Structure 1
Amino acid sequence: MEMRPLRVLLVEDNPVYRRLIEKLLAGSQYPSFDVTSVDRLSAAFDSLDRQAFDVVLLDLLLPDSEPHETFFRLRGRAPDTAIVIQTGFDDVTLASKAVEGGAQDYLIKDRIGRVGLVRSIRYAVERMRARSAEWASGMFHLAQQQFLKAAYIVELDDNVRQRLLFPERAQVAALSFRRDQHGQVETVFGYRVQHVLAMGPTKGGIRYHQGVDLGEVAALAMWMTWKCALMRLPFGGAKGGIRINPLDLSRTELQRLTRRYTLSFIDIIGPDMDIPAPDMGTNEQVMAWIMDTYSRRVGYTVPAVVTGKPVVLGGSQGRTEATGRGLMYCIVEAARHLGLDLRQCTAAVQGFGNVGAHTARFLEENGVKVIAVSDVSTAVHNPGGLDIDDLEAHVAKRRFLEGYPGGEHITNSELLELPCDILALAALQNQVTIDNVQRINCKILAEGANGPTTLEADEVLSEKGIFVLPDILANAGGVTVSYFEWVQGMQNFMWTLEEVNTRLHAIMTDAFRRTLTRAEREGTDMRTAALIEALDRVRQAELLRGLFP
């Protein structure tokens, strides 16, 4: 769940500079660094043979290499690793030639400070990633695999299949914004992807996370297409994001960055075009800033340009807890189908953000004993049951679960393998894989997160008889209430919380029953059945609208 430290190979034979750089990197929290230091090029080669590094900080003047050869020898050994040159004033020409030859940056040794050093490393890694790995995303590959499996089963027309494999529109922007420190400007990557335009306006959240890339956003947009189609909402799928750690930014920095993002993508969003919403790392405040920026640009207030905004600005009652509530509705239906009494069930919830915390709350309200929860800092286990009120109070005060005294602290991996009736995944993708699926020990696996289970693990879960509530069904409560909010905004008419929840329950239970019926009729698992159900609707729309020109 938590992003790992960036792995740095420091190649420097001067002990003074080596200690300086180690000290500067040790003081960085976002990102953090795992530094390996060597003083010879031969030792650097040995280190590269033993493990992979994100970046190499390279001094060109080493005892066992000629200066003009040092970079190119290292580049030949590690062609896919970012390299930042460290140089003195008298070696700038040599460093510049290394940059021309493919190094990402160079730093003047006597001017190195923490901010400049960390920024140079981060930008070097970003540029290398942007050059080679934007589409090379395991998450996007998973989304395509799932789609192709369902397309094969229903014998989807090849022309339609090819059109749906990639998003119809994808836009990448380099976003520059001013930090609170005077004179410091950051540049980060932002994305907006629209998968299918045939279903109506596109709909999807905006994610602020340091792991965001084009492939991840494309996968999320594809899943949103299937989610909207399965719920029978008049939207195609979209998604957006910024590759940044929001915890590293102040409120004013987040506002400036959000407004910059909005201006960069303002030509492809709008209430009749593409409607953003909150996702990981964003919230109703971020949506308020987007609405305000868009409204100021067009000259009048446009509440329907985003959903998930504050109620006072036209947001819908029940939107904040909608994903967790929808997940709970599906769990209730699954328990009824399996003949389980929820009052006799136990649950473990991975993730204690918006989705996970609300899921834990609703489980407790339905009589389920929640025995474990987790966040990025730790997992807490208490076989006798956890007090959700107490957990939320601790997080409100301390921000994370770390240090909570009401249970044993375990790892997130251990939480996944706890014996329980319900395992709710409300964190990140790729949590249940071929490596741990045999140790998963639950009756219902409910996916509150997007893409938490790999395709190979799906097959094992099916063999084990674990009932999976797939993400495009189980976590669709958020987009469903976002649809309600959009309708209310377009009509300037507000619904009560009771009306919202009644409508949400009707749509979620209908989608569950259609998916279950399809699974039983096709003799397939719930994920494939949900995809087939969604694909049928998208296929009809694509064929009826035709291809223009």
Structure 2
Amino acid sequence: MNTASGNTVKVLLIEDNPIHVGLVKTLLAESKSPVFQLQFAGTLQAGLNQLDAASVDMVLLDLTLPDSEDLDTFIRVRSFAPAIPIVIVTSLDDIKLAAKAVEAGAQDYLVKTQLSRTSLIRSIRYAIERTRVRDAEWDSPMFRLAQRQFLKAAQFMGLDDNIRQRLLFPQRTLVVTLPFRRDHYTEVETVFGYRVQHILTMGPTKGGIRYHQDVSLGEVSALAMWMSWKCALVHLPFGGAKGGVRIDPTGLTSHELQRLTRRFATEISPIIGPEKDIPAPDMGTNERVMAWIMDTYSQEKGYTVPAVVTGKPLVLGGARGRNEATGRGVVYLIQEAAKHLKMNLSECTAVVQGFGNVGSHAALFLSELGVKLIGVSDATTGIYNRHGLSMPSLLEYVAKNRFLEGYPEGDQISNEELLELKCDILVPAALQNQITAENADRIQCKLLAEGANGPTTLEADEVLNEKGVFILPDILANAGGVTVSYFEWVQDTQNYMWTLEEVNQRLKSILKDAFHRTLNRAQKNQFDMRTAAMIEGVERVSQAKLARGLYP
């Protein structure tokens, strides 16, 4: 859902009948994912006042109110808040009027006497989805950031304008709407899915699939663009791709998740394949999801095709070390940066934002190197202990409780406070746009290693560089995942598997080479590390495009 706070949807109900208010309140309270925050107003003017005073994701509107009636009620709300989706809540005798409101721009209408939890929540979700598709698919903060980073690098390197214009947008985009059945067999959900291929010049495209309620075309396009530069930077024979489904996977049962995945795999199957585009896990997906995609694709082909995805279980052709590869790669690069900065890691402190796959493995490997971990966080809370946190204890607690909230061996702090802790190494491994112009001057680390994609804005970059913070940019710092995915693809196509030692040795060698090429370019041309890394990647893509020429 397109919401202001992830899994929370803020709904304003403008309704003067307390019985209907109570009914809506009861039905929305039954939902666990998403969680609804319901506000209500008994008159139109009170509703407009609330729209003016507070952030609202959507409006449920009765057309007959003490101070307004009929279509004029909708028109006044629509004029006051043109970007907010509106669903009409009507009586049986007003259905024709409600239909006229839909013709005038309302997203849907619901009959009060026929309200159920399923119909109400589905109508709200679809209203928000349709508004988002109409207004904001390309208008993503991540996509704007990705384009700005690219344009900055293009300006410094004097990139040919024809190539610059060509690389600003993805080469191929597939947007699908797909249905899947809930466990209550009569309930069918329709969601939006995406697969974006940024560059087809370098070979097959490569990139993860994420399941998250904020996935959009712009976000997926940004991630595909970053993947292009990432693959080129570490000299992998891939173009960048990314995919996703806009849904909260935590609200699905295992059976629902499998049905959703198999339907999504079927929808994108025409453009994926070992020689076309190879998906991998990302936020909200894992090796089990990859196994379902592989099986669905293989069933359609009539034979087993292990190389269609990476990040699979070992028994299906997965690579040893793939699960922890991104976090391990972050730490390999921290080791190289520490040598350059003459930092003794055994005397350093670290803070890791995000305790998912990347963050937890990065924290674990840093601890094994003797780094004192003083802060970690996840979506629920941050944990701080200046004396150091125990990784075995943290992992055990999360295994039992799923989240860090309530962890007893430290002080609970916010994610914002966690980022501003004084430390030697900061690893943002959660979401994008975490370090901005607003908090960059309060960041107190010496080394910033970006485990997440796009955690730092360009404005924050300037502040951090002026402060002397050494940045390992995302397209370098988190390249370990796609590198070991490449190893898995190679092994699957050759039917020859490598040992964990071989995987880690080759991973370290590739990342070390990319680090020193980036560092040398930064020092030689007096660039910051992000610009140097971007130019390394963009230059390789540009050379490939020029070598292939233009068809026809």
- Of 209, 213, 228, 2:212 maps to 209
5+ unaligned residues in a row in structure 1: which ranges? none
State TM-score, norm by structure 2: 0.98
Q: Give the AA of the match of 1:389.
A: P
Q: Give the AA of the match of 1:6.
A: V
| 1:389 to 1:286, Cα distance in 2 relative to 1, 3 A | same
Matches within 5 A, 1:390-409: 390-409=393-412
Alignment check: 8 A CA contact 1:371 1:385 kept: yes
Deviations 1:328-352 (A, max 9, x none): 0000011110010000000000000
CA distance in 1, matches of 2:25, 2:417: 33
Give the SS at the match of 1:37. Answer: strand
* Farther off after superposition, 28-37 or 397-406: 28-37
Kindly report the root-mean-square deviation, in angstroms, between the aligned alpha carbons of the 2 structures.
Answer: 0.9
**Counterpart for residue 389 of structure 1:** 392
**Counterpart for residue 121 of structure 1:** 124
CA distance in 2, matches of 1:33, 1:364: 39
Matched, 1:499 2:498: no
* TM-fit CA distance, 1:473: 0.1
Matches within 5 A, 1:153-232: 153-232=156-235
Matched, 1:373 2:376: yes
Give the SS at the match of 1:36. Answer: strand
CA distance in 1, matches of 2:232, 2:140: 24
Give the SS at the match of 2:109. Answer: strand
**Counterpart for residue 236 of structure 2:** 233
Give the SS at the match of 1:84. Answer: strand
CA distance in 1, matches of 2:483, 2:185: 43
**Counterpart for residue 327 of structure 2:** 324
5+ unaligned residues in a row in structure 2: which ranges? none
CA distance in 1, matches of 2:187, 2:195: 26
Matches within 5 A, 1:462-481: 462-481=465-484
* Farther off after superposition, 459-468 or 15-24: 15-24
Deviations 1:87-116 (A, max 9, x none): 111111111111111111111101212221
**Counterpart for residue 87 of structure 1:** 90
- Of 422, 426, 444, 1:423 maps to 426
Give the SS at the match of 1:24. Answer: helix
Matched, 1:41 2:38: no
CA distance in 1, matches of 2:126, 2:63: 20
Matched, 1:69 2:87: no
- Of 431, 435, 440, 1:432 maps to 435
Alignment check: 8 A CA contact 1:84 1:106 kept: yes
Alignment check: 8 A CA contact 1:308 1:319 kept: yes
Give the SS at the match of 2:373. Answer: strand
Alignment check: 8 A CA contact 1:233 1:480 kept: yes
Give the SS at the match of 1:256. Answer: helix
Alignment check: 8 A CA contact 1:12 1:38 kept: yes
Q: Give the AA of the match of 1:466.
A: V
**Counterpart for residue 6 of structure 1:** 9
- Of 477, 480, 485, 1:482 maps to 485
Alignment check: 8 A CA contact 2:449 2:477 kept: yes
* TM-fit CA distance, 1:68: 2.5
CA distance in 2, matches of 1:514, 1:132: 41
CA distance in 2, matches of 1:420, 1:113: 51
* TM-fit CA distance, 1:2: 6.5
Structure 1 runs of 4+ with >2 Å offset:
none
CA distance in 2, matches of 1:196, 1:124: 33
Q: Give the AA of the match of 1:450.
A: N
CA distance in 1, matches of 2:5, 2:550: 43
Alignment check: 8 A CA contact 1:2 1:376 kept: no
State TM-score, norm by structure 1: 0.99
Matches within 5 A, 1:234-383: 234-383=237-386
CA distance in 2, matches of 1:353, 1:326: 15
**Counterpart for residue 141 of structure 2:** 138
* TM-fit CA distance, 1:183: 0.3
Count the aligned residue pairs.
Answer: 549
**Counterpart for residue 32 of structure 2:** 29
**Counterpart for residue 59 of structure 1:** 62
CA distance in 1, matches of 2:69, 2:258: 49
**Counterpart for residue 453 of structure 2:** 450
**Counterpart for residue 527 of structure 1:** 530
Give the SS at the match of 1:424. Answer: strand
| 1:132 to 1:162, Cα distance in 2 relative to 1, 3 A | same
* TM-fit CA distance, 1:73: 1.7
CA distance in 1, matches of 2:353, 2:5: 13
Give the SS at the match of 1:193. Answer: strand
- Of 534, 537, 548, 1:545 maps to 548
**Counterpart for residue 16 of structure 1:** 19
- Of 56, 76, 81, 1:78 maps to 81
**Identity over aligned pairs, percent:** 65
* TM-fit CA distance, 1:4: 5.2
CA distance in 2, matches of 1:470, 1:27: 43
Alignment check: 8 A CA contact 1:168 1:197 kept: yes
Alignment check: 8 A CA contact 2:7 2:33 kept: no
Alignment check: 8 A CA contact 1:429 1:452 kept: yes
CA distance in 2, matches of 1:208, 1:4: 13
Give the SS at the match of 2:209. Answer: strand
**Counterpart for residue 414 of structure 2:** 411
* TM-fit CA distance, 1:280: 0.3
Q: Give the AA of the match of 1:170.
A: T
CA distance in 2, matches of 1:536, 1:108: 59
* TM-fit CA distance, 1:21: 1.1
Give the SS at the match of 1:182. Answer: coil
Deviations 1:229-280 (A, max 9, x none): 0000000000000000000001110100000001101100000000000000
